[in-house]
Amino acid sequence: MNEIGETSDLYEGAILEHDRHPRNRRAMVNCSHTARSENPACGDEVCVFLAIDDRGIIGDIAFGSKSCAIATASASLMTEVLAGKTPAQARILSDHFHAIATDGAEAPPDGMEVEIEQLATLSGLRNFPAREKCAMLPWETMLAALEGPKEGK
């Protein structure tokens, strides 16, 4: 990180906006996939709900959290970007978000330039390596939900 921090920039942009008005922060009764994760370093919790339809599309995605602004904003943005995507696309976007939040080196995958641009609104995170875990917690929870047992079976 820079010797002179850019914390105020971080909290003046997308993070604070999403933290104040999180999208899709709600429970989902009839989800097909769900998972809950905890950041052992701070005790923060995130759960993610996915409703994947017969065509294999994420028709609905929501989250719940007891977390810091960064994890909340990351989860909120994730739900915006992943609605309508396939699990395979969700995995690719997760990798790219990780790149954006850390070294930011990768080129956007074909056909997902819009989504990557949306995710890039959190690119200021790369100046705060201590918060990588906060930023990735919702995405890791989403990936765990994709891998995990389907609810209701």
Partner 1 sequence: MEAAYSGYGQLGAVERSLLEGCAAGENHSAPYDVEKVRTDFPILHRPVRGRPLVYLDTAASAQKPVQVMEAERSFYAEDYANVHRGLYFLSQRATECYDAARRKVQAFLNARYQHEIIFTRSATEAINLVAASFGEAFLKNGDEVVITGLEHHSNIVPWQLLRSKKGIVLKVAPLNDRGEVPLEDFKKLLSPRTRLAALAHVSNALGTVLPVTEMIRAAHSAGTKVLIDGSQSIVHLGANVRKLDCDFFVFSGHKLYGPTGIGVLYGKEALLEAMPPYQGGGDMIARVTFEETTFAPLPAKFEAGTPAIAQAVALGAATDYLIRLGLDRIYAHEARLLEYATSRLREIESLSIIGTAANKASVVSFVLDGAHPHDIAQVLDSRGIAIRAGHHCAQPVMTRFGVPATARASFGLYNTFDEVDVFAEAVKSVEALFQR
Q: Which stretch binds partner 1 (CB under 8 A): 2-10, 75-83, 91-99, 135-143?
A: 2-10
CB of 131 to partner 1, least distance (A): 7
| Cβ–Cβ under 8 Å, residues 1 and 116 | no
Element (H, E) at 91: helix 87-101
Q: Which is nearer to partner 1, 7 or 149 (CB)?
A: 7
CB of 10 to partner 1, least distance (A): 8
Q: Which is nearer to partner 1, 50 or 135 (CB)?
A: 135
131 binds partner 1 (CB under 8 A): yes
CB of 111 to partner 1, least distance (A): 35
| Cβ–Cβ under 8 Å, residues 74 and 139 | yes
Q: Which stretch binds partner 1 (CB under 8 A): 22-30, 66-74, 75-83, 95-103?
A: 66-74
Residue choice 70, 78, 100, 136 for contact with partner 1 (CB under 8 A) = 70
Residue linked to tokens 């429970």:
27
Phi/psi at 43 (5° precision): 85, 5
**Residue ranges in 25-54 that form contacts with partner 1 under rule CB under 8 A:** 41-45
**Cα distance between residue 109 and residue 138, in whole Å:** 21
**Cα distance between residue 91 and residue 82, in whole Å:** 10
**Cα distance between residue 139 and residue 143, in whole Å:** 6
Q: Which stretch binds partner 1 (CB under 8 A): 10-18, 24-32, 102-110, 116-124?
A: 10-18
**Cα distance between residue 70 and residue 75, in whole Å:** 9
Name beta bridge partners: 63: 25, 48
Q: Which residues bind partner 1 (CB under 8 A)?
A: 3-8, 10-11, 16, 19-20, 41-45, 66-70, 128, 131, 134
